[in-house]
Amino acid sequence: MFKSNPSLISGVLAMQCPACRSHAVFATSNPYDLKNIGSMHPICPNCGSSNRVEPGFYFGAAYVSYILMVGLLCMLVFGYYLVFGEIFEHFWRLMISGIVFAVLSTPVIFRYSRIIFLYICVPLKRK
């Protein structure tokens, strides 16, 4: 019987293997477990696809991380503008909230940048 792979968006959001989309890439599901933030299964137990494509592979995820963080900070500034109607009158409040947001979201963005970069580079294996 034909069984389709989960969608791209649900695979990325669930941080699943880009090749089979049925097994988690990271060893722990909590991104705020900072001791194991980068712990990934070296090989997917379901399909055997390697999550360590080549040495230095995840340096490319830094570009994805940069795009995600800049996009989210732009959305924060836009949301701040929508709520308060200005951004320069209480500029330091905006800056501090941006810094707090960036620090708190860094573990999540770190993981999603790796996942997105994996999805860009690793093709889906059809079932």
User: Binding residues for Zn ion, per CB under 5 A?
Assistant: 17, 19-20, 44, 46-47, 49
Give me the least distance between CB of 59 and Zn ion, in Å please: 23
d(CA 39, CA 36): 5
Task: Decide: 65 and 113 in contact? Cβ < 8 Å.
Answer: yes
**CB nearer to Zn ion: pick between 38 and 48:** 48
**CB nearer to Zn ion: pick between 28 and 93:** 28
Give me the least distance between CB of 87 and Zn ion, in Å please: 44
The residues, any chain, with a CB within 8 Å of residue 48's CB and separated by 6 or more, are none
Burial 57-73 (b: 16+ CB within 10 A, else e): ebebbeebbeebbeebe
**CB nearer to Zn ion: pick between 19 and 118:** 19
Give me the least distance between CB of 23 and Zn ion, in Å please: 5
